Amino acid sequence: MKLSLIFILAYLIGSFPSGVIIGRVFCHKDPRDAGSHNIGTTNSYRVLGPIAGTAVLFLDILKGTLAASLPIIFHIPNHSLVLVVGLAAVVGHAYSIFLRFTGGKAVATSAGILLAYNPLFFVIASTIFISVILITSMVSMASIIGPLLIAILSFYTHDWLLGTIATLVLIFLTYRHRENIGRIKNGTENLVPFGLYYRYKQKKRQ
């Protein structure tokens, strides 16, 4: 019974619509009304600005960390449950009960789970994520390559559970980014205004 309640609570934590709340309360905007119409960090930066976007990033990571930490908080001595319970928060963020089962792509929330499970891997994942953005100028590319490399690294270090969960997250994120993948193939994906590829495109236009 306790474990069932933990999964429900983790889903509800993940469902908390950070982008919508911050946008409406502090910016008098809804990130769903512009840009990619997504409630996540990238569109929050685009629609709400850097300060609000950073707040959304922090809260979305916190959602994953808090939800994944519930087995520890409720004194269940099984560290592997951190990853399993954390998945409920990922589902909650992507299919929020507070937004009629719509939501974001759950990249930051997935990273929050990693922070609760293994802070070192969180640092590695963050480094990979930032590096890929600096090279490709695409958040979507980093959102897929990051989990892929974490899954490979996890299996290499014989953390089979993390490798399996990272693979599941990779599949989920790939599905959530299917439109982005189409735009990447067509060369029409949105770029962040920095990074090597962005500079290359700017020079090419000159």
Residue 72's CB is within 10 A of a number of other CB atoms, namely 15
Taking the C-alpha atoms of residue 121 and residue 165, their distance in angstroms, rounded to an integer, is 13
Contact 7, 32 (CB under 8 A): no
* 76: its two tokens: 């269940």
pLDDT digits (tens, 9 = 90+) for 73-130: 999 989 999 999 999 999 999 999 999 999 999 999 999 999 999 999 999 999 999 9
Assess whether 103 and 169 both reside in one domain.
Answer: no
Which residues span the domain enclosing 162?
118-206
Q: Inform me whether the pLDDT recorded for 20 exceeds 90.
A: yes
Q: 96 φ, ψ to 5°?
A: -70, 130
Residue at which a domain ends, from 117, 139, 172: 117
Assess whether 63 and 160 both reside in one domain.
Answer: no
Average pLDDT estimate for 150-175: 95
Assess whether 11 and 78 both reside in one domain.
Answer: yes
Coil, helix or strand at residue 131: helix
* 22: its two tokens: 């911050």
Q: Inform me whether the pLDDT recorded for 1 exceeds 80.
A: no
